[in-house]
Amino acid sequence: MSNEKDNKIEPSLEEETILHEDFGKAKTALKDEDAKWYILHTYSGYEMMVQDNLKMVFQKNNMEDRLLKIAIPMEDVIEEKGGKRKVVQRKMFPTYVYVKMHYLPNMWHMVTNTRGVTGFVGPQGRPMPLTPAEIKTLRIDIAPVFETDIKVGDAVKVMEGALAGYDGIIESVDVPNSKVKVVVSMFGKDTHVDLAMAHVDRVF
């Protein structure tokens, strides 16, 4: 495995000393709406590890309030193995992790030295916040709670993902996580799948 960290462009001395005196002084002024989304590149297959490692690194440095959210966009795909088909989740953008945080220039070393991270995605490896349009396209900042009147036993149609167009029956509803379990008939067999509430419509 090549060491991509050797090619990183480190921040300038001026950038490195900005706000270096004390992270704690800014804690009371932090507002969620001021946080920005950034993209980190990882080694292949390290996405989940990076997610866990980042949380530990921020906690170890007493900076949990600066880390708001980590997203690894997933999608449902149909996989065939041994003559059987099942729905599995795959990463939409392998080797990329999306992080919403209150970034400071002197956090660069802490983030890029996290195990599994090869660097920020941006000009010369410098952090560049995503634009509102990019965030909307990636759908990484959607509110976690989805209001719905769908209930167990309802007939629904899957509107997005690998099962788009299939009909099914609601088996369970997980309101806090905006998820539903649906029984879908595929090739004459019932398949139980977990879907986002926003991806199904009730059939009347």
- Tens digit of each residue's pLDDT (9 = 90 or more) over 137-196: 888 876 544 556 788 999 999 988 778 889 999 999 887 677 889 999 887 788 888 888
State the span(s) of the chain assigned CATH 2.30.30.30.
155-202
* Domain 4-138 -> CATH class: alpha beta
Q: Round to whole Å and give the CA distance between 161 and 165.
A: 9
Q: Round to whole Å and give the CA distance between 170 and 130.
A: 36
The rounded percent of the chain whose pLDDT value lies above 70 is 78
Using CA of residue 154, residue 193, residue 161, residue 136, what is the dihedral sign? positive
H-type helices in the chain, by residue range? 13-17, 47-60, 108-112, 132-138
Correct CATH for 155-202 of 3.40.50.2300, 2.30.30.30, 3.40.50.1820, 3.40.50.920: 2.30.30.30
- Tens digit of each residue's pLDDT (9 = 90 or more) over 93-107: 999 999 999 999 989
- pTM, full prediction: 0.61
